[in-house]
Structure 1
Amino acid sequence: MGTVPELASLSFEEALKELENVVRRLESGEAPLDESIELYARGDALRAHCQARLDAAQARIEAIVADRDGKAQGLRPFDETVG
């Protein structure tokens, strides 16, 4: 597979592009068994890396909480429901 970049150094977009290439190679059916196993392992690691990057991005997103008059009252995590 050539030089494999370390996952930690990849941006979300770079990891996603590499994952798409891995999937394309696996779906082609042209890779020998040993390479397919390596590709599968790399693809799984890339998937986990992308998910971790998405989770981290979502955790950083905050929503503005407004009071009854519509004035900003503070911030809350994006996925937290208003009670």
Structure 2
Amino acid sequence: MASKKPESSGTGLEVQIDPNLRYEQAVKELEKLISDMESGKFSLEETLLAYQRGAALLKHCQAVLAQVEQQVRVFEA
């Protein structure tokens, strides 16, 4: 996989996501972040950081899925 720029949450703060992070690992981390945020165990600041990390993880997952879709299209052609 080609190296990617760091994921951005749109808040001006860059959240670093390892471009080699496996899809399954990213989804698992995202699910944990969501669960933790919903439980109310984070402070406001921690919630913001979790949201930023989650947004970057989601963007990473979408990019991985798009790449796999493209590969499937090539195989089907």
Q: Per the shorter chain, which TM-score range?
A: 0.7 to 0.9
1:19 corresponds in structure 2 to 30
For 1:57, the aligned partner's letter is V
In the alignment, which residue of structure 1 is the partner of 2:49?
38
RMSD: 1.3
* Unaligned stretches of 5+ residues in structure 1: 64-74, 76-83
Identity of aligned residues (%): 37
- Structure in which a larger fraction of residues adopt strand: 1
Where in structure 1 do 4 or more consecutive aligned residues deviate above 2 Å?
none
Structure 2 unmatched ranges of 5 or more: 1-15
Q: Which has the higher helix share?
A: 2
Aligned length: 60
Deviation at 1:6, TM superposition (A): 3.7
Name the structure, 1 or 2, with higher relative contact order (CA <8 Å, separation 6+). 2
For the pair 1:57 / 2:68, whether they are aligned, the reply is yes
**TM-score normalised over the length of structure 1:** 0.67
Instruction: In structure 2, give the amino acid aligned to 1:15.
Output: A
